[in-house]
Amino acid sequence: MDISVIIPLYNEEESLPELFAWIKRVMDANKYTYEVIFVDDGSNDASWHVISEITAKHKEAKGIRFRRNYGKSPALYCGFKKALGDVVITMDADLQDSPEEIPGLYNMIKNEGYDLVSGWKKKRYDPKLTKNLPSKLFNATARKVSGIYLHDFNCGLKAYRSEVVKSIEVYGEMHRYIPYLAKNAGFSRIGEKEVNHQMRKFGKSKFGFSRFVNGYLDLITLWFLSKFGVKPMHFFGVWGSIMFLFGLISVIIVGAMKLNAIIQGFRAPLVTSSPYFYLAILAMILGTQFFMTGFLGELISRSSQERNNYQIAENLNL
């Protein structure tokens, strides 16, 4: 099969018939073999009824229905597991992503050698203050942290080589960082294609401003796991040791000053009257806690079933 199109959705009953018809026209015009997998993320409108009607009429259409709303990442994860196409394309169900972009994305994967191609909605029709500006700040941070220079990490229109989606695990709200997950899995040929952004035709956006706050937190988590997930002692142990040594040296200095005053015959105040003494003790306690956190992290990492799960690109005679 040439292409699997995965469409996560939540309460998009009005747009689904038009979206599938549009995808079908594009696929038939280019003579692709394809499937369209709708993943209903616990909709409470008639979305699943519409999907049932489409799948009854068209064998290319398939559906997955969640019992409740889990989120976009779980929807993509389940769609990726079922996808059969050589190229997997994801797009939103709100008609803001144009199926006319599919041939270009497919060509970049199949003929230009990319592992992943992300859409870039250079001209957007979203509110500038509540969506465009926060999106620009978010993407700038994501580029800096990940080292992947994409303009729009959050664009739902992306294309993947099949091996990519079968080799990564998308969970929580990590769908924004699939390029980063792919890079960490060894798929470094990541490209970008400028795509058209359509005005929303039905309903309203399901994502609020909180997605940017959550996005930053997820980015920090992903960066930490990719850097120190296997060897947490490299982070906690180093900083714990530095803090403990700083506290120890500070305590020695405070004690030496007290001892020097006694030797010279002065009535020195108690060491506990100095604020530096408490800062030194605090540094030693925090350093010990950091070190123990790293040690416990190492024990957990060594006991993990995934500790020797490596991505192998190819085998010969095996």
pLDDT at site 25 = 97
Tens digits of residue pLDDT in 62-105 = 999 998 888 888 899 999 999 999 999 999 998 989 999 999 99
- Residue 34, sorted as left (phi over 0), alpha (psi -120 to 50) or beta, turns out to be beta
Q: How far is the C-alpha of 266 from the C-alpha of 278, rounded, in Å?
A: 23
CATH number of the structural domain 3-228:
3.90.550.10
Looking at residue 308, what is its pLDDT?
47
Q: How confident is the model at residue 139 (pLDDT cuts 50, 70, 90)?
A: confident
User: Tens of pLDDT along 242-299?
Assistant: 888 888 888 888 778 777 777 777 766 676 777 777 888 888 888 888 888 877 776 7
pTM: 0.71
Question: Per-residue DSSP letters for the chain?
Answer: --EEEEEEESS-TTTHHHHHHHHHHHHHHHT--EEEEEEE-S-SSSHHHHHHHHHHH-TTEEEEE-SS---HHHHHHHHHHH--SSEEEE--SSS-B-GGGHHHHHHHHHTS--SEEEEE-SS--S-IIIIIHHHHHHHHHHHHHH----S-TT-S-EEEEHHHHHH----TTGGGGHHHHHHHTT---EEEEE--BPPP-SS--S--THHHHHHHHHHHHHHHHHHHSS-THHHHHHHHHHHHHHHHHHHHHHHHHHHHHHHTT--PPPGGGSHHHHHHHHHHHHHHHHHHHHHHHHHHHHH-TTTT-------S--
C-alpha neighbours within 13 Å on the C-beta side of residue 314: 1
